[in-house]
Amino acid sequence: MQAARGTSVDSSKSGPADHPRTVLTSRRSWAVFAVVAVVVYVIDQLSKRAAVEQLTDRDDVRVVGDLLQLHLTRNPGAAFSLGTEFTVGLSCLAIAATMFVLVASRKVVDRVWAAGLGALLAGITGNLTDRMLREPGPFRGHVIDFLQLPNWPIFNVADIAINVGAGLILLQVFRGIRMDGTRHPEDAEDTGDTDGADA
């Protein structure tokens, strides 16, 4: 009886106490996700607008010598000018990816995952906006690219966001940290930690 009562008391202490903490952490992480997504998306759209206004019918603009130049181009394909013949398919894939990231974001607790998903969403929707609103028409619109490095395809802020977001997500995967902040069992045993959620 005493053992049972002791177990019950311990459970009540850990359960209700941990639940509000997890909910609060989840809300903060989702706020990180939302802020990163909105800020990066706005930067991408403003930079593209500026590129069209300032670089149309102009020679390349050198920002850092030959290392970084501004060169306006309209890309019908994916990031780094890949898949230029599949613009409609890429648009549909981007819509599906956007929905997937939004659904996944509801479960995020770890803040690195949140930042990665936010950057990924901003990049996907940034280029998707171009495909839906720019010429030659919805689903076939050309993406505005304007950043040029030596021996590298021309890209934009959304492309950078997609790669940074994917990099952060892969980092957490390799570290064995799930979206909910917990570690995979084998990783938790190695570190002696069973819960990697941010406080």
Per-residue pLDDT averaged across 47-74, rounded? Answer: 94
Domain range for residue 98?
24-191
Q: How many CA atoms lie within 13 A of 8 on its CB side?
A: 5
- The count of domains in the chain is 1
Is 43 contained in some domain?
Answer: yes
In this structure, what token pair is assigned to residue 150? Answer: 């030596």
Distance CA(91)–CA(77), nearest Å, equals 9
Confidence category of residue 86, pLDDT binned at 50, 70, 90: confident
Active-site positions? 145, 159
Is 10 contained in some domain?
Answer: no
> Position 3: which residue type?
A
Confidence category of residue 88, pLDDT binned at 50, 70, 90: confident
Q: What is the pLDDT of residues 9-37, one digit of tens each?
A: 444 444 444 555 566 678 899 999 999 99
Q: How many CB atoms lie within 10 A of CB 127?
A: 28
Is 1 contained in some domain?
Answer: no
Distance CA(14)–CA(175), nearest Å, equals 26
